[in-house]
Amino acid sequence: MMRKLITAAAQMGPIAKLETRADTVGRLLEMMREAKGRGCELVVFTELALTTFFPRWMIEDEAELDSYYETEMPSAATQPLFDEAKKLGIGFYLGYAELRVENGVKRRFNTSILVNQKAQIISTYRKVHLPGHSEPQPGRDFQHLEKRYFEPGDLGFPVVKGFGGNMGMAICNDRRWPETYRVMGLQDVEMVMLGYNTPFGHVGEQAMDSLTLFHNHLSMQAGAYQNATWVVGTAKCGNEEGSKMGGQSVIIAPSGEIVAQAVTVEDEVITAACDLDLGKRYKETVFDFAAHRRPEHYGLIVERTGAIPPKS
């Protein structure tokens, strides 16, 4: 049996600070049409796909800050994506900055949505693992202020039925944490979609920063293999307002193997025919959780090694 889902990762090159939503959505539409022309049923866009990566700057004017967020989805600016998706019969993952007002309080999230072939939002995810700082750091050409501009996601890691399989989402730094994949793996996830905007030099330690692209793939390949799932990682990359960001968008099989990879740091569509049943074969053998996983012993192991985490 084969459940083949032809999937695209739609990598984006830089988005200029003054680039309009209409121009950016136009680029997304072009890649959506290219993906459909290759037979794709699903296209995965990147994190914060509608604007430049604004957390690199200290923004003190609230009106300016608010301009980077979406207060509804679809919005007037993004409605063309939904209209074209419905016309073409293709689904999409889209990352964006979300602004909600609850009881007069503004809440800001780094968010992604999954939209089916009928242009219906079937899942929403909010980034849990926020990197960077809440206050500007001295000596940096560019800041990384995600903790200032977003709060941690409050929706968990949902897995939903769609596209013939079990679909999950993550965003950027989430990919580095094994909990991300395992929480979804325990829900029998079959494809994890994630977008990222990853600058070089974000750690500030040259030896570590030189491994940015290696760590990017390492984390996603490990998550795919250890949870027997496809992983689609889509970058925003290139030299964006002077900040250089890594590309190498990939589609990774449940074996941990990269089956498609971008070769530019520009707008580029890569595709793969993803057999969702490939993960099932791993889940019935090496990663049969019921047969081999022993969570009832984990606490005992931690206690005996003295590595009990402090209570919060």
Task: Tell me the mean pLDDT in the region 257-281.
Answer: 98
| Active-site residue, 47 included | yes
Residue 306 lies in a domain: no
Q: What is the CATH number of the domain that holds 272?
A: 3.60.110.10
Which helix (H) or strand (E) covers residue 64, if one does?
helix 62-66
Return left, alpha or beta for 61; rule: phi > 0 is left, psi -120 to 50 is alpha, else beta. Answer: beta
pLDDT at 2 over 80: no
Residue 254 lies in a domain: yes
| Active-site residue, 283 included | no
What does the pLDDT look like over 185-234, one tens digit per residue?
Answer: 999 999 999 999 999 987 778 898 899 999 999 999 999 999 999 999 99
Number of domains in the chain: 1
Q: Which of 40, 172, 237, 274 is catalytic?
A: 172
What does the pLDDT look like over 165-189, one tens digit per residue?
Answer: 999 999 999 999 999 999 999 999 9
Task: pLDDT band for 298, please (50, 70, 90 cuts).
Answer: confident
Q: Which of 36, 41, 127, 240 is catalytic?
A: 127
Write out the residue range of the structural domain in which residue 158 sits.
4-287
Residue 80 lies in a domain: yes
| Active-site residue, 237 included | no
Indicate if the alpha-carbon torsion angle 196, 197, 200, 202 is positive or negative. Answer: negative
Residue 102 lies in a domain: yes
Higher local confidence (pLDDT), 312 or 304: 304
Residue 224 lies in a domain: yes
Indicate the length of the chain as a whole number. 312
Query: Quick check: 257 and 272 in contact, CB under 8 A?
Result: no
Distance of CA 144 to the CA centre of its chain: 17
Residue 312 lies in a domain: no
pLDDT given for residue 302 in this prediction: 64
Residue 300 lies in a domain: no
pTM above 0.85, yes or no: yes
DSSP 92-140: EEEEEEEEEEETTEEEEEEEEEEE-TTS-EEEEEE--S--S-SS--TT-
Task: pLDDT band for 297, please (50, 70, 90 cuts).
Answer: confident
Query: Quick check: 15 and 45 in contact, CB under 8 A?
Result: no
pLDDT at 307 over 90: no
